[in-house]
Amino acid sequence: MSLLAFGINHKTAPVEIRERVAFTPEQLDGAFQQLRQHPQISEVAVVSTCNRTELYCVVDSDAHGQDTTPVLEWMSQFHNLDLTDLARYSYEYTNEDAARHLMRVSCGLDSMVLGEPQILGQIKDAYLNAQDKGLVGRELNPLFQQSFAVAKQVRTQTSIGENPVSVAYAAVSMAQRIFSDLSKSQALLIGAGETIELVARHLRNAGVSKMVVANRTLSRAQAVAEEFNGEAVVLSDIPHQLEKSDIVIASTASQLPILGKGAVERALKVRKHKPIFMVDIAVPRDIEPQVSELDDVYLYSVDDLKEVIEENMRSRQEAAEQAEQLVLAGVGHFMQSQRERGAGQLIGTLRQQVDNIRVTELEKALQQLQKGQNPEEVLQRFSQSLTNKVLHEPMVQLRQASADNRNDLLNGARTLFALD
């Protein structure tokens, strides 16, 4: 078995592709059921965010070297995507490279926003979800634990997270470029997850005092709105709120667009074509792309934020270099531990084999004592027989190694048994 990391992210695929391979919570349940029964996959965790969909697996080693891997084939079938197209946009890492990739992702080194902290929480959620489904075992568990430890080191020992750089921050920064005074603007936030909370926090810091949070579940919208002295509404109230909103930022887990071109067009008429700034952070998208065709609407997708993000991430480059060194050390520690676990299995087998010999010889000795034989002679025979039985097979192998001129095995035996 070997480790495999399979994925698609913002670097390899546009949002149109990423939204087709993203997993909703409902889809994940069905995916786990299929993966649990897959003959070549023994452990798996699924990470699905707006910027990446990744599977971290333990797979049959025989699957490598083939034209397609079992994970690629499964993803193609599950999402009904052409295998060739999916392969073009995806990437795969194995063993040490897979471990390095997960650690870099956990530290925010592979994110659109360098060093952003949200991804670590998403990785932890993916791990716990897979663990709850019984799909994390003796291989993936130490890998994720090591990744979490490295991510903590990076946060505490470097300054990579000191500057407020995130997709949410970038969205608000872009709004500040369009509206010189955000204190006079109303913001409509669609969704009530962690990203929207972060957006709301940055909006408040930027001077926005009036915020409306729209969500499918009103109670969740109220929980977010109360923290920022905002108003909570349900999704059906969006058209009415749209008429009063200058800034619209959407981030939900909906599979279908929540805001269409018609609703925005009607709102613009009521606003007498006063401009609306919109950012769609969601994948799949919450706002129909056709909305961008309307005059007086500035619509940006998550991919459009890259330029703003790049400006703000330069300060993190030096810290990122330090983080890369911590990742390398973490990968080295993990690989050493993995090799030690492999030796542990061998040691356990050897110990069991020797113990079986000991038990057999001890039973013979006890029977001889019960028959009244001389204890000293019994102990002599027991120790000699135990020595002969334990060393018989190694001695046979050493003689054969010498006959075959296998100096590597002979030298290994000297080291293993400290014969020098």
Q: Are 305 and 174 in contact (CB under 8 A)?
A: yes
User: Which residues are tagged catalytic?
Assistant: 50
Q: Tell me how far apart the alpha carbons of residues 141 and 124 are, in angstroms, rounded to a whole number.
A: 11
Q: Tell me how far apart the alpha carbons of residues 167 and 15 are, in angstroms, rounded to a whole number.
A: 15
CA 222-280-256 angle, to 5 degrees, is 80
Q: Tell me how far apart the alpha carbons of residues 408 and 397 are, in angstroms, rounded to a whole number.
A: 13
Q: Are 260 and 201 in contact (CB under 8 A)?
A: no
List phi, psi (to 5°) of 162.
-75, -40
Q: Give the CA dihedral 9, 11, 13, 15, nearest 10 degrees.
A: 80
List phi, psi (to 5°) of 210.
-115, 115
- φ/ψ region of 95 (left if φ > 0, alpha if ψ in -120 to 50, else beta) reads left
Q: Scanning the structure block, which residue is given the tokens 């707006």?
A: 50
Please give the single-letter amino acid code of residue 171: A
Which tokens go with 108?
């925010």
Distances (CA, A) of 148 to 98, 142, 334: 15, 10, 12
According to DSSP, the residues that pair with 214 across neighbouring strands are 190, 233
- φ/ψ region of 207 (left if φ > 0, alpha if ψ in -120 to 50, else beta) reads left
Which tokens go with 166?
């995130």
Q: Tell me how far apart the alpha carbons of residues 53 and 35 are, in angstroms, rounded to a whole number.
A: 15
Between helix 118-132 and helix 194-205 the angle, nearest 10°, is: 160
